[in-house]
Amino acid sequence: MRKTIKVLLVDDHTIVREGICALLELSPEIEIVGEAGDGNEALEIARKQKIDVVLMDLSMPVMGGLEATRNICKEFPEIKVIILTQYNDKERVFSILEAGARGFLNKSAASSELVSAIRSVYRGDSYLSPSATKHLIENYQLEANSKKRRDPYEQLTEREKEVLRLLAEGHTAKEIANLLVISPKTVDSHKTRLMSKLEIRNRVDLIKYALQKKIITM
């Protein structure tokens, strides 16, 4: 016999709760074991009832969904919280995840997606709506690009990186010129630019930098 997933529904609008209950009752594996109109009520029910998953609204009186999620996740780490909201902006997505929620779903989602989200978090996975996933990917890409911009080594040209490596290996400007088939004057220009970009003042610091970046090894 399949075990039912015990769900607590938290929303301050009765008509919304009734609609969600009607949808979830069509799924025999899901059982609505409680309803609450704010975060305080949700906590009281969680302390008395066996709850597997909480469907949590964000904007509610007395105690909002974000605070309620933090409290439930802290007091009952085995309970999985899915935020079900009409809001879809990036800042809320990050705040929701930081609060400990395992899922994020827009209220405009199809009933089948809601059931899938409940099943996923119950199994121990996370569930994010496509828009929330998009926000996370965009944020990751922004952070990755920002880190790349902050790393001065990434600002070097490929030729400057070659010159840096050869200088760190102990080659003279003339030797580097012969190896790269360029003039010693050009080598000096590359050296000046790369040391300026890396804020390196002498050859000793250049070698230290190359070792730290693993451009060369001992």
Q: Which domain holds residue 199?
A: 152-212
**CA gap 92, 110 in Å, rounded:** 21
pTM above 0.75, yes or no: no
- Using CA atoms, how far residue 48 sits from 33, 34, 74, 127, in Å, is 11, 10, 16, 27
Final residue in a domain of this structure, among 130, 160, 192: 130
Query: In this structure, what token pair is assigned to residue 147?
Result: 């880190």
Total domains present in the chain: 2
Are 24 and 119 in the same domain?
Answer: yes
**CA gap 175, 164 in Å, rounded:** 13
CA nearest to 105, candidates 119, 167, 181, 42: 119
Tell me what pLDDT residue 93 has.
77
Note whether residue 31 is domain-resident: yes
Q: Which residues of 100-115 are buried (b: 16+ CB within 10 A; e: fewer)?
A: bbbbbbbeeeeeeebb
- Which pairs count as long-range contacts for 135-138, CB under 8 Å and 24+ apart, including other chains? 135/90, 135/93, 135/94, 136/93, 138/90
Note the pLDDT tens digit of each residue in 41-89: 999 999 999 999 999 998 898 899 999 999 999 999 999 999 988 766 6
Tell me what pLDDT residue 147 has.
60
Note the pLDDT tens digit of each residue in 20-34: 999 998 999 999 999
Residue-level pLDDT, tens digit, the chain, 218 residues: 568 999 999 999 999 999 999 999 899 999 999 999 999 999 999 999 999 999 999 889 889 999 999 999 999 999 999 998 876 666 677 788 889 999 888 887 778 889 999 999 999 998 887 665 665 666 556 666 666 566 788 889 999 999 999 999 999 999 999 999 999 999 999 999 999 999 898 888 899 999 988 898 86
Are 126 and 191 in the same domain?
Answer: no
The gap from C-alpha 158 to its chain's centroid, in whole angstroms, comes to 32
Proportion of the chain above pLDDT 90, given as a percent: 60
Final residue in a domain of this structure, among 99, 130, 161: 130
Q: Letter for the amino acid at 34?
A: G
Tell me what pLDDT residue 149 has.
62
CA nearest to 123, candidates 102, 144, 108, 142: 102
Tell me what pLDDT residue 94 has.
78
Tell me what pLDDT residue 90 has.
62
Are 111 and 170 in the same domain?
Answer: no
Tell me what pLDDT residue 151 has.
75
Note whether residue 218 is domain-resident: no
Tell me what pLDDT residue 50 has.
94
